[in-house]
Amino acid sequence: MNWKNYFTTSIGKKILVGATGLFLILFLVVHCYVNAMIFWCDGGKHFTEAAAFMGGNVAVRILEIGLFLGLGLHIIQGLMLWSQNAARRSVRYEVSAGNKTSKWYSRSMGLLGTLILLFLILHLFHFWAPNRYGQAFDAGWKEEDLYEKMMVVFTPMWVVIVYLLGCFSLAWHLMHGFYSGFQTFGLATNRYKGIIRSVGVAFAILIPLIFASMPVYMHFMANSHP
């Protein structure tokens, strides 16, 4: 046994999911912080500056590669755990305990994660992909006007609704994921588990709520200034 086959054991696998999950939580904080600048009500001036910094910075670009790797690992490992674990009980129970012994979102991480992934594909297609494409081919490595783009993207109501559903899935995914990451690293001891759970719940509500208010806000901005 050495650290090389460590990541293929049951504990190693969950460490991978936990580590990448905590990394993605950090990313959410940064993403949320930068995007929340649209609420300055300055026609997107602050936000555009911050977005240009994030978009035109080499260090951030390198971190972005790490982000995609982490995201990929999290998704692949998570889905593999989901399917492998489902195969550990070939004959299912006739009656199951349901919510009496555990939370529905803790049992549904694979499903919630898949919903987030579907949302993410649409989201990358809306903003990230056209922006990078534009940088490379049209604007000479300049950031697109993402504020303007948000207004355009969020004009139709159905897009706003899909984004809200994405945030909803994210909230429940985090409701389990935040605490779970700390438990996986062995940090949720009797002493700290109370605070980790509370911070986790606050995080799982707050961050998706701020994210959710963005498409709503931009939808109304777009429709009030045609």
Partner 1 sequence: MQHYNMNLTLKVWRQRNNKVKGHFETFQVKNISSEMSFLEMFDVLNEQLVAEGKDPIAFDHDCREGICGMCSMHINGRSHGPWDQTTTCQLHMREYKDGDTIVVEPWRANAFPVIRDLVVDRSSFDRIIAAGGYVSVNTGNAVDANALPIEKQKADESFAAASCIGCGACVAACPNASAMLFVSAKIAHLALLPQGDPERKVRAVNMVQQMDTEGFGSCTNIGACEAECPKGISLENIARLNREYVGAVFSGSPRG
Q: Which residues bind partner 1 (CB under 8 A)?
A: 1-3, 6, 9-15, 81, 84-85, 87-98, 100-103, 106-107, 109, 176, 179-180, 183-190, 193
Tokens of 79: 């889905």
* Shortest spacing between CB 193 and partner 1, in angstroms: 7
34 vs 81, beta carbon nearer partner 1: 81
Of 107 and 132, the one with the shorter C-beta distance to partner 1 is: 107
Q: In whole angstroms, how close is the CB of 26 to partner 1 at the nearest point?
A: 20
Least CB distance from residue 188 to partner 1, whole Å? 5
CB of 85 to partner 1, least distance (A): 4
Based on CB atoms, which residue is closest to partner 1, 45 or 103? 103
77/131 with CB nearer partner 1: 77
Say which residue the tokens 């998570």 belong to.
Answer: 78
Q: Which uninterrupted H or E stretch holds 66?
A: helix 58-86
Q: Which of 149, 162, 84 is nearest to 119 (CA)?
A: 162
Could you tell me which of 106, 98, 81, 80 has the C-alpha nearest to residue 172? Answer: 106
* CB 21, CB 203: distance < 8 Å: no
Helix, strand, coil % over all residues of the chain, rounded to 5:
80, 0, 20
Cα–Cα distance for residue pair 102/97, rounded to 1 Å: 8
Q: How far is the CB of 182 from partner 1 (least distance, A)?
A: 8
Structure tokens that stand for 70 in this block: 């982490």
* Residue 107 or 126 with smaller CB distance to partner 1: 107
